[in-house]
Amino acid sequence: MSRIAIKITGAQGQGVNSVGEICAKGLKRAGYCIFGYREYMSVIKGGHSSYQLDVSNEEVRSTHELVDILVCFNHHGLELNVEEVRDGGVIIHQSPDWKWSTKQSAELKKKKIITIVLPTEEILRKLRAKPILGNMLITSVVWALLGQSADALRKLASEQFASKKDLLELNMQCIDEGFAFTKKQAADVRVELPEHDDIWKDRMLLTGSEAMGLGAIHAGVRFYAGYPMTPSSPLLKFIADMQNKTGMVVKQAEDEITAAQMASGAMFMGTRALTATSGGGFDLMSETISLNAIIENPVVFVLAQRPGPATGLPTWTAQGDLLMAVSTAHGEFPRCVLSVSDAADCFELMPMAFNIAENFQIPVIVLTDKQIAEALYTQEKFDQSQTTFERGFLITEKKELAKLKATDRYDPEAEYGISKRWLPGAKAATYVAQGDEHNADGSVDETPENAKAQMEKRMKKGAVLAEATPEAMLYESDIGHRTSDKGNSEPKLDLLIVGWGSTKGPILDVMESLSRSPKSSVRSPRIGYLHYTYLWPLKTEKLQKLAKKAKHVVLIEGNYQGQLGQLIRQDCGLNLERKILKYDGRPFFYDELLEAVSFQLSASGKRFSSFTKS
Amino acid sequence: MSIPLQPNGPRMKDYSCANKCTWCDGCGDFGIWTAVKRSLVESGIPPHGVLLCYDVGCHGNASDKLLGYRFHGLHGRVLPFAAGAKLANPTLPIMTFGGDGASFSEGIGHLVHAVRSNYPIVFVLHNNANYGLTLGQASSLTWQNQKMNSSPNGIPEHTLPSMDFLFSLEPTFVARTFSGDIPQMTEVLKAALKHRGFAFVDILQACPTWNHFATHDYFLEHCYDANKEGHDSSDFKKARQIAVDTSKRISTGILYQREDLPDFYERLVPRQGRKTTPVEEVEITDVSEYMKMFI
């Protein structure tokens, strides 16, 4: 795959995101697939931040550590990011007084890196434009270097500033200035993009949070309660910004316990309600999850992971809360834990999560992470035709309601342990949703017989759920896409990778590269990636079969302990000794993972690797 | 009380339940439990037409001692659950019950925000000034020098001035009554059920087992019906004053009420003009229009 990377760096609030977004949109419309990745610090203004776009005419799902163009809004980028520029790359900056050290100059010369100094202040002064206009000026230089047409950029600007006529005029002048500058000062500098492909033009460009928000709206969510916490806040923001279109009830609660309780109350009443938080907030929500388990109230909680413990690394990413999700909250009860891995999952799994919650009357926890929440995906329009609407044993018909007895609500004899559910306000026998151990109509009952019967009723639902949820999904390197199981014979693999969540993107990109031009000692290696979406109840039969036939099996996770590996071992005894683990707050980057997986392909490969970006 | 108040209206026995009450002899919960049922019956609300949400504590043990759709949740957390339920289906009346422990310690933040949000629900404070169910520990409303379970020297903290605190939150409905006066409780609860917004009903409750300072007799001696004495419940300043000053007499009745302010649901811009409830709107929703903004 031919790909390039553009990284825009600067202080938070300087316009890094706006340049990133406008470039992304323009390049997508020009026929490229974009993967956008943001890094920033937990401050509002001033912290060093970056927005990287990886661009290709084929599907790109990961971030390259080396970039072709580095844009520096201020000198910090020149200090901190210069080593990320690949040989022959370009640096654009606007610090005219910047002096490279002798060593740096030599290095840049050796690497044939071209530096372009844009006299932003001077140009803006000439145009009598405010500093914010520098964004468009920089964008137009990048645009020119990529060989893209000025008209395309003008069109984007006129869309963005349609309602602000004077600002639009200045933006247009900046575009002209940017192109004129590049023609004059950098006429022979060009960053070659691969041939464009029109399949990308009409795709959406959206973050995982936006995809998840659309998924929630699609699923029929009519109530959202949340408390701000990165990286769940972008979902709250999107849902809240959409409320005047969707008519949804949106409540910014006073804390996470409130958000959890409100969503639970709304679900109990019979709407579809959602809440989302990150680790610390989820800790606070856990008692409410336990409550929902005993009153058999369907709920969906989104857990957007970031590195802990405590406040940890608030604006960075991790897959460190899997074990928490599968074991959070007191008491024994069935639950479903699933994880999204990209924008498509974010959309599709929302209706699925609600269907599971309502079918089984259990808490469902949907894992995401900062990487997915804020990454920018080039995504085909979501297919809405496959969505099902399942509400399980919810009784709403008048005749059926009239037949109900209060003891139907928590009937321990109910098939699959799933008893009938009906909503407050329905003309029927009334029951109590009882947080104490209760008998069939919700009355408190502390007898040993009843305690046993009700525990068994609830746990039976877990066993049935385990039957109903799908196995992990196998992706194979020759295609890089989901493959159907061909009969019963499992493929014989050179390497079987096991993982979940956001690491799927870089893993698939790496697999594709290795199968096309193997860097490894194995020629045209056959690599399989077993991706876990449904993490609890955990299914390991497919894994065990595949692992038996694979030369090597490696676990890849964004945490220290190899948490999925622990769950697998707990479930079936299989010990995945080879692990690639990363726990420095950063996602897996394409090139580092390519190297690590290549190592694993050779028999003498390292048994354990962990990354820290120095 | 088996004669319906309206033709085909609910009767007291419609709310009756086979489970036996487990409260101590003389517990104020009996009176409150009766008044709650009476207020519902007299308001013409059948059991399937109400949601009763209970916090944890002695009062919460009422959750299976009457009929109606009921919820018995976590300690201190009943208000946000009830608020979520109400916003999902604003057509269903909701009564919420909590003790002074749950409402002024564990869940006090929820109370603050429920008042501030003006959720259209009734909140009944079972105010017996101690943690009864856990065997009589001090709550933040226990009188300061009382010896209590786990506070052999009395509590070092000063007693939380609950009414002054509540009035500082600019409530839209504040009433006080006491567990020995079923007719007054009934009237107050009926008014609370009709109120536009968050109705705070402080019920001073006898706890013969643990509370030996504010007893049934004490309430009988000290409580007076302020409404009967001509108190103007629209007068915020006066209401606050008679609510806070209990040194000689304890004012009861509807102390303060205003209905010119919209409740939380009424304030939600996206809900304006909608005839359906969020419960009725659940369906797989076409997002094609929304997807266009990402192209």
Q: What angle do CA A312, A317, A323 make, to 5 degrees?
A: 80
Span A32-49, average pLDDT: 88
Tell whether the model's pLDDT for residue A518 goes beyond 80. Answer: no
- pLDDT per position as a tens digit, A254-291: 999 999 999 999 999 999 999 999 999 999 999 999 99
- pLDDT per position as a tens digit, B202-236: 999 999 999 999 999 999 999 999 999 999 999 99
Asked whether this complex has an ipTM greater than 0.95, the answer is yes
**Domain spanning A205-379: which CATH class is it, in words?**
alpha beta
Q: Write out chain B residues lying below 8 Å of A245, CB-based.
A: 290
The structural domains of chain B, ordered by start, are: 24-294 (3.40.50.970)
DSSP string, A258-308: HHHHHHHHHHHHTSEEEEEE-HHHHHHHHHHHHHHHHTT--EEEEEEE---
- pLDDT per position as a tens digit, A85-102: 999 999 999 999 999 999
Span A216-241, average pLDDT: 98
> What is d(CA A595, CA B19) in angstroms, rounded to the nearest whole number?
68
Residue partners of A133: CB distance under 8 A and separation at least 6: A124, A127, A170, A171, A174
**Token digits of residue A330:** 């007191």
Span B32-38, average pLDDT: 98
Q: Which residue from A85, A81, A302, A104 is spatially nearest to A211, judged by alpha carbons?
A: A302
pLDDT confidence of residue A485: 47
Chain A residue nearest residue B266, CA to CA: A249
> What is d(CA A335, CA A352) in angstroms, rounded to the nearest whole number?
14
Q: Where are the alpha helices (DSSP H) in B161-215?
A: 162-168, 182-194
Q: What is the mean pLDDT of chain B?
A: 96
Percentage of residues in chain A with pLDDT exceeding 90? Answer: 86
| Segment 42-101 of chain B within 8 Å of chain A by CB | 47-49, 51, 53, 56, 61, 63-64, 67-74, 77, 80-89, 91-92
> What is d(CA B52, CA B71) in angstroms, rounded to the nearest whole number?
6
pLDDT confidence of residue A480: 40
Q: What is the mean pLDDT of chain A?
A: 93
Structure-model confidence comparison of residues A388 and B2, the more confident one: A388
Angle between helix axes A165-185 and A150-160 (nearest 10 degrees) is 160
- pLDDT per position as a tens digit, A346-382: 999 999 999 999 999 999 999 999 999 999 999 999 9
pLDDT confidence of residue A479: 46
pLDDT confidence of residue A288: 98
Confidence of residue A604 (pLDDT cuts 50, 70, 90): low
- pLDDT per position as a tens digit, B263-292: 999 999 999 999 999 999 999 999 999 999
pLDDT confidence of residue B5: 65
pLDDT confidence of residue A516: 79
The pTM score is 0.96
List the domain boundaries for chain A.
3-200, 205-379, 398-468, 473-611
Q: Write out chain A residues lying below 8 Å of B96, CB-based.
A: none
Q: Write out chain B residues lying below 8 Å of A203, CB-based.
A: 295
pLDDT confidence of residue A1: 72
Tell whether the model's pLDDT for residue A524 goes beyond 80. Answer: no
Distance from CA of A431 to the nearest CA of B (A): 6
Tell me the Cα Rg of chain B.
20
- Lowest-pLDDT choice from A385-399, A406-420, A510-524: A510-524
Percentage of residues in chain B with pLDDT exceeding 90? Answer: 95
pLDDT confidence of residue A44: 74
Confidence of residue A481 (pLDDT cuts 50, 70, 90): very low
> What is d(CA A531, CA A61) in angstroms, rounded to the nearest whole number?
15
> What is d(CA A65, CA A582) in angstroms, rounded to the nearest whole number?
15
> What is d(CA B100, CA A321) in angstroms, rounded to the nearest whole number?
36
Tell whether the model's pLDDT for residue A606 goes beyond 60. Answer: no
Chain B residue nearest residue A423, CA to CA: B69
Tell whether the model's pLDDT for residue A136 goes beyond 90. Answer: yes
> What is d(CA A155, CA A65) in angstroms, rounded to the nearest whole number?
31
Identical fold for domains A3-200 and A205-379, yes or no, is: no
Q: Write out chain B residues lying below 8 Å of A426, CB-based.
A: 48
Residue partners of B280: CB distance under 8 A and separation at least 6: none
| Segment 231-260 of chain B within 8 Å of chain A by CB | none
Span A320-344, average pLDDT: 98
pLDDT confidence of residue B101: 94
Topology of domain A3-200 in CATH is Pyruvate-ferredoxin Oxidoreductase; domain 3 (3.40.920)
Say whether residue B279 is in contact with chain A using an 8 A CB cutoff. Answer: yes
Beta carbons of A168 and A51 less than 8 angstroms apart: no
Span B157-167, average pLDDT: 96
Beta carbons of B93 and B49 less than 8 angstroms apart: yes
CATH for the A473-611 domain, from 3.40.50.970, 3.40.50.920, 2.60.40.10, 3.30.10.20? 3.40.50.920
> What is d(CA B239, CA B255) in angstroms, rounded to the nearest whole number?
5
Q: How far is CA A224 from the centre of its chain?
A: 20
Q: For testing the chain A interface, which of B45, B78, B285 should be mutated: the one with the most A CBs within 10 Å? A: B285
